[in-house]
C-alpha cells in the first residue's frame, strides 16, 4: 500500500510506485482483463475488424433509406462508428426517444466543438458498433430510428 508507517506523531509514505497505490489492488479487474485479452485473441483481431466492417456497411446501407439523413464521415475504411443527423430533428430529441427503446447513442458535440462549428452543426448523433452486436440489433435500431423520426416530424 501507500503507507510505510503510521503513528499518532507521524506518517511516512512508501517508496515509489507504491505510495500512489492506495486501497486494495483491483485483482478481479486484472483477472478480467486477462480473460478479455484471451477471448479477443481466440476470436482474432482480423475477424473482429472484418465483422465490425460488415456491421458498419450494413447499417449505413440501411440508414441511407431514412428520409433526411446526413452522415458525417463516410470513408469506406472507417471504424464502426456512424455520426449522423436527420433534417429537421434535433439530435438530442432523437437520442432521447431512442433511449426509450433501449438504444444507447451519444448526442451532442462529442468534445469536438471546433469540428462541429466547421461542419456548421450544433451536434450529431453517434452510433458505435462492436463485434458483440448482431445484424438483428441493427435492424431493430433502424426500425426505431424510423419510428422516432416520424414521431418528431
Active site members: 111
Residues 145, 31: Cα–Cα separation, whole Å: 38
How far is Cα 92 from Cα 106, in angstroms, rounded to an integer?
9
Question: Which own/partner pairs from 99-106 qualify as long-range (CB within 8 Å, at least 24 positions apart)?
Answer: 101/140, 101/144, 101/147, 101/148, 103/140, 103/141, 103/144
Amino acid at each position: 500500500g501507500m503507507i510505510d508507517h503510521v503513528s499518532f506523531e507521524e506518517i511516512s509514505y512508501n517508496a515509489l510506485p507504491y505510495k500512489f497505490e492506495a486501497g486494495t489492488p483491483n485483482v478481479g479487474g486484472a483477472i478480467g482483463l486477462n480473460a478479455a485479452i484471451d477471448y479477443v485473441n481466440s476470436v482474432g483481431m482480423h475477424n473482429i475488424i472484418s465483422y465490425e466492417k460488415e456491421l458498419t456497411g450494413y447499417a449505413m446501407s440501411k440508414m441511407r433509406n431514412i428520409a433526411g439523413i446526413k452522415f458525417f464521415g463516410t470513408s469506406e475504411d472507417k471504424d464502426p462508428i456512424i455520426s449522423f443527423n436527420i433534417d429537421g430533428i434535433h439530435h438530442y430529441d432523437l437520442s432521447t426517444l431512442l433511449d426509450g427503446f433501449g438504444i444507447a447513442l451519444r448526442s451532442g458535440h462529442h468534445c469536438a466543438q471546433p469540428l462541429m462549428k466547421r461542419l456548421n452543426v450544433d451536434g450529431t448523433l453517434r452510433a458505435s458498433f462492436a463485434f458483440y452486436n448482431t445484424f438483428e440489433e441493427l435492424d431493430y435500431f433502424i426500425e426505431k430510428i424510423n419510428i422516432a423520426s416520424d414521431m418528431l416530424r
